[in-house]
Amino acid sequence: MTGIAAHEIGIVDYPGAQVACILGLTDLFGAASTIALDQRRSGQSPLRVTHWKPIHCGAAKLSCVYDSAPRGSPKPRTLIIPPTMVNLPDPDVPAGVVSWVRNRHAAGTTLVSLCSGAFILAETGLVDGLSVATHQICAEALAKRFPQIVVDTSRRIIDHGDIITAGGFLSWIDLGLFLVDRIFGPVMWAETARFVLSGPAAGEARYFTGFAPPQTHGDRAVLKAQEWVHMRDGRGVSLAAMATAAGLERRTLLRRFASATGMSPIEYCRAVRIARARELLEGGDTSQKQIAQSLGYKDVASFARVFRKAVGSAPGAYRKRFGRNGISPADFAAKDGSRQKKRIFEAGLQTG
C-alpha cells in the first residue's frame, strides 16, 4: 500500500445521529485497517475514517471533526449517513447537510444510508425513482414523506453502485462488513467478521432475531457462502450459486459447509428465511402472503407449515405474541425458562 492513497470513508455526524453507530463503524473499519496493515506489512493505513459535522446551524459546508489518519486534505470516497437514535431525522435538519452530501456525490463519492439515514439521503433527490432499504419501523413514514422513492424492507442492503442503502437489525454491522468486502475482498471480509463477531458474546451476534449463525469456524470460503446467503435472506439460493460464491466445487462446499456450521446448505438457507420471517412478523404489519412471497414460498400454507415446524407456533400466533404490541422475545425468554418455549428463540436449526 506504500504510495497508494488510503480509501477514505466519511461518516456524517448530523444533529440526532446515533453516536453508537458512528463510533461502532469507526472501530470496525479501524479493525479492518489494522488487519490489512498486518497482512500487507505496509507502513500506511489502507483505510482512513473521517467524521463530518455542521459546526454552525446554517453552515453550507461540513467540517472534518475526526480523522483516523490525518495526512493531506480529507476527501471521502465513501460517505455514510447513519441512523438516528430514537426519533426520525428532523425535517428541518440543516440544509447545509443535505446540499453538502449532494455535492460530495457529484464529486464522485459513493453515498451510503443506514436505516433512518435514508430520510436525509432522500432529501437530496438522488434516489428518486430508486428502491431504498430502511428499517420497517420507519418505512411507512419514509414512503409518505418521499412518495417518489420505492421503500423496500424485504432487502437488507440495496446496492445501486454509487448509492447503497441498508436497513434491519444492527444493519451498521452488516453494512460495515459489506463495505470491507467491497473495498478489500472476501479474505479481508472474513478476517474482519471473525474479529468483530468472535468476542465473548459471539454466540449472541445475530443477523436476524433469534439466529446466531456459526462464524468462528475459521473456514473463509464457508463464511463467504454464509454472507452470500444472508445478503439474499436465504431465498432463491442454489447449491451451484453458493459454491460459486465460496469459490469451491459443489461437493467440497457440501462437506466443508456441514463441517463448519453443523447444517447442510439447504438447512442453513431455511434457517435464514425463518429468522427473516420472524423479524418481519415482530416488527411490522407485512401480511403473511407478502412475507411468504418475499422469501420464496409458493403460498401462505407452505410458509406457515415450515414456520410452525421450525418455531413451534403459527405465524399469526407468533405475531400476536411477539409483535409491536406484544411482549418482546427477549423478555418472554427471560420470564419463561421452560424448554418448550425456549425453542422459539434458538437459532432456527429445527427447520422443515
- Is 209:269 a contact under the CB 8 Å cutoff? no
The pLDDT score that the predictor gives to residue 79 is: 97
Q: Which of 106-115, 195-204, 321-330, 338-347 has the lowest mean pLDDT?
A: 338-347
What number is the average pLDDT over the span 46-53?
A: 92
What number is the average pLDDT over the span 260-268?
A: 91
- Please state, in angstroms and rounded to a whole number, the distance separating the CA atoms of residues 241 and 231: 13
pLDDT of 201 above 50:
no
User: What pTM did the predictor assign?
Assistant: 0.58
As a whole-number percent, the residues of the chain with pLDDT over 90 amount to 32
- Is 52:158 a contact under the CB 8 Å cutoff? no
The pLDDT score that the predictor gives to residue 174 is: 80
Does residue 248 or residue 168 have the better pLDDT? Answer: 248
Which band of pLDDT confidence, cut at 50, 70 and 90, is reported for residue 199? very low
- Distances, alpha carbon 103 to alpha carbons 107, 185, 245, in Å: 6, 28, 35
Does residue 313 or residue 160 have the better pLDDT? Answer: 160
pLDDT of 190 above 80:
no
- Is 314:278 a contact under the CB 8 Å cutoff? no
What amino acid is encoded at 209 in this protein?
A: T
Looking at mean pLDDT, say which of 43-57, 159-173, 250-264, 266-280 comes out highest. 250-264
What number is the average pLDDT over the span 237-251?
A: 90
**pLDDT tens, 11-28?**
999 888 888 889 989 999
pLDDT of 218 above 90:
no
- Is 126:146 a contact under the CB 8 Å cutoff? no
Which band of pLDDT confidence, cut at 50, 70 and 90, is reported for residue 329? very low
What's the whole-number average pLDDT of the chain? 79
Which band of pLDDT confidence, cut at 50, 70 and 90, is reported for residue 4? low
What number is the average pLDDT over the span 56-73?
A: 82
Strand blocks (E) in the chain: 7-12, 47-53, 63-67, 78-81, 110-114, 131-133, 150-152, 157-159, 163-166
**pLDDT tens, 224-235?**
888 888 877 888
What amino acid is encoded at 156 in this protein?
A: R
The pLDDT score that the predictor gives to residue 284 is: 64
pLDDT of 245 above 50:
yes
Of 239, 193, 210, the closest CA to residue 322 belongs to 210
* Burial readout 16-39 (b: 16 or more C-beta within 10 A, e: otherwise): bbbeebbebbbebbebbbebbbee
What number is the average pLDDT over the span 166-186?
A: 80
pLDDT of 348 above 90:
no
The pLDDT score that the predictor gives to residue 229 is: 86
The pLDDT score that the predictor gives to residue 70 is: 87
**pLDDT tens, 290-314?**
888 888 888 999 999 999 888 888 9
- Please state, in angstroms and rounded to a whole number, the distance separating the CA atoms of residues 308 and 13: 43
The pLDDT score that the predictor gives to residue 135 is: 81
Which band of pLDDT confidence, cut at 50, 70 and 90, is reported for residue 139? confident
- Is 79:215 a contact under the CB 8 Å cutoff? no
- Distances, alpha carbon 161 to alpha carbons 105, 106, 289, in Å: 12, 14, 31
